Structure 1
């Protein structure tokens, strides 16, 4: 195994990109040595991340002011929840950043067990490649979603301007459509557009990156469980001395402690991410029964956003559940240990494997295992059947109404 194939080195560039959007403001995130990673309250990254948080908070206050003046609706409530989730994600990543240096040092210490012989012979998981592929696919898909939603806003604002005969310029109509909460309190200026678009990106980025971050954590932990399983599978049905099982059991317990550490650190993010994903999917499914129009751009943006949310959530579960999958494979491998090789160490190892769940969780409310996909699918289908009895407009596709009141 290459000496640099550690989780820190595999994920450092991904975290550096996230810092552009104000997330996880730790210093020296690209350092080769984990001992150089620091969290400093007085640092440019903290100042930059704090500035983004303040700007997001100011926009959230503007949204509240807008909702109070125009009356709260189902659509407005989803907008409010989006900003609440964004602010919480920034806060949770700040909380994680405080403990990130110590987490990385602990993780690096456990990884040293798996960077030497015999585990180096069982490294076929390609952790770094998987992290880059997941990050590239998820975030490029999120970029396409963001582009489609912007195109949708530009299109609808132009249709409103022309069909409703509103006497404003094209860019002002975009500003009015995209940021009605700001339009009520801040007059249009062309220099505001790039500023507000940057704030919009810092709000949109954490929603997809949080899922991507959970997947990266899952890949990093699964890589070590995979090595442990491969070492046990290599002695399938062979008689091994007690010292072998003692060492393997100790390495498993080290991984178990690492999983518990990571689970405690990122559990709020997991709970928030899946809660937000489920609410967004249900919200979009509700809208799919209503009249969303026959406009091609509107339809493409709507369905892409819905399908992307479902696929991203499912992918997060499948990737993170690989930790539990490898543990179950280890349990299966222990059942094939020959009777004459069964010892007190194998017995203790077997009991510890069956003691509790080894998986990331949402603060203990649910665990990221493959069965969660079935549970979420059942919930979504039940929800869709319930609202289908109430809303019977799914087959109606009338002309999109562009004109609206502010």
Structure 2
């Protein structure tokens, strides 16, 4: 017996009224993933992404772009001065690694802001394609009743963990033995030593830098959250398709000794044909999403890869002094690894679930085997469906091992040259 939503498929019979029963049961129910995702995208206008906002949100986006672009330009200028030999003070967070990391951090923030804005703006058209894949074809699948709760829980989890990590970074940058009046001054010079020297510090510069650094951190976490949530939605749809295959195979096994003629044989063929076409529409939907999401996937993985390597390198070469600094380093490293791994694993679930129905099809009884089942098996076997980074790499589980091996090689080379 298979339970989908609130309906037990074992209570239904494979007869001429099967489609009518499914239509009556599910016609009034719709999946809540798309409205929930749109709600989250709407909230994004509060930190500069105006796709679901008005003119005020657009003005805020322009100001956000100007702030992030200004800091990125300043970070690039400081890095160029260092490489050209113009800069003289290269200590206390103003060396090459610090300036390169600052440039990459704000470069990622700028690209993430623009790509997220572009993706959310185009999501209105993607939603139409998604809705058609859900509703067309004549087969009505029970909605995922828990998808809204899972999306909200993941969003809150990422938001809370990111806030904790950032607050710990602020405490690590300043310590506790500091007068309240000097906190802002010490924090800006400590966290943005690659950008500002003590004689360049003014409140009029520090305040925009402080605000922009928070926005950059939000964009970094938000780009990973977008990939995870969209992957969850695609995986949920594949999961429901696979459950439907499992249900049909069980019915075929139950009726294996009964020969079908005329109308019954026609209904059986049509049911399998419509199910196969549902997989075709789902694969098409994944490719549409991949075209819109690919640049963000590439940016996210490259940025996470760099900062994981950087954190490991700094941790292996520097002794963290103080309890707060040690706690921040381990928590920050754990959060970065956890988030990067979940981006890959969530997206890899799409590829994994796209083939999960194959073992079920191989268990279909020989007496019920037909041309549509054969076509579906061929389709699932040879049609590679996966999210990718602009087609340069596909996100699957093996990618984690490949990335881990690359990080290990990088760290060994850096340690060898650093020694």
Same fold flag (TM > 0.5): yes
What aligned pairs does 1:6-405 form with structure 2 within 5 A after superposition? Answer: 6-23=32-49, 25-27=50-52, 43-67=55-79, 68=81, 69=87, 70=89, 73-113=96-136, 118-120=140-142, 123-124=143-144, 126-155=146-175, 169-180=182-193, 181-182=195-196, 187-189=201-203, 194-239=207-252, 241-391=268-418
Q: Which runs of 5+ in 2 are unaligned?
A: 6-27, 82-86, 253-264
Q: 1:171 to 1:301 in 2, by over 3 A?
A: same
Residues of 1 paired with 2:121 and 2:42: CA distance? 16
CA distance in 2: counterparts of 1:125 and 1:278, whole angstroms: 35
Deviations along 1:97-130, whole A, 9 cap, x unmatched?
342221112112222249x97411xx45721111
C-alpha distance in 2, partners of 1:178/1:365?
34
User: Per-residue CA shift, 1:295-334, capped at 9, x if unaligned?
Assistant: 2222221221111111111112222222222222111111
Once the two structures are TM-superposed, the CA of residue 237 in structure 1 deviates from its matched residue by 4.9
**Using the alignment, how far apart are the partners of 1:283 and 1:172 within structure 2?**
26
Q: How far is 1:145 from its partner?
A: 0.8
Residues 234 and 350 of structure 2 are in contact (CA less than 8 Å); yes or no, is this contact kept in structure 1? yes
Q: 1:272 and 1:370 mapped to 2: Cα distance?
A: 19
**Superposition TM-score, scaled by structure 1 size:** 0.82
- Cα deviation for residue 170 of structure 1 reads 4.4
Give the conservation status (yes or no) of the 8 Å contact 1:66–1:184. no
Which whole-Å deviations, capped at 9, do the CAs of 1:209-237 have from their partners, x for residues lacking one?
11111010011111111110000001225
**RMSD over equivalenced CA pairs, Å:** 2.6
User: Counterpart in 1 of 2:20?
Assistant: none
1:278 Cα offset (Å): 0.6
Using the alignment, how far apart are the partners of 1:230 and 1:125 within structure 2?
A: 14
Cα distance in 2 for partners of 1:56, 1:237 equals 57
- Superposition TM-score, scaled by structure 2 size: 0.80
Task: Assess, with a 3 A threshold, how the Cα gap between structure 1 residues 148 and 170 changes in structure 2: closer, same or farther.
Answer: closer
**Structure of larger gyration radius:** 2
Instruction: Label 1:326 to 1:21 Cα distance change in 2 as closer, same or farther (>3 A).
Output: same
- State how many pairs are aligned: 366
Contact 1:321 1:369 (8 Å CA) reproduced? yes
Write the distance in 1 (CA, Å) between the matches of 2:411 and 2:76.
30
Q: Is the 8 A contact 2:46 2:57 kept in 1?
A: no
The Cα shift of 1:136 comes to 1.3
Per-residue deviation, 1:385:
3.7
Give, in whole Å, the separation in 2 of the partners of 1:169 and 1:142: 25
Change (3 A) 1:273 1:291: same
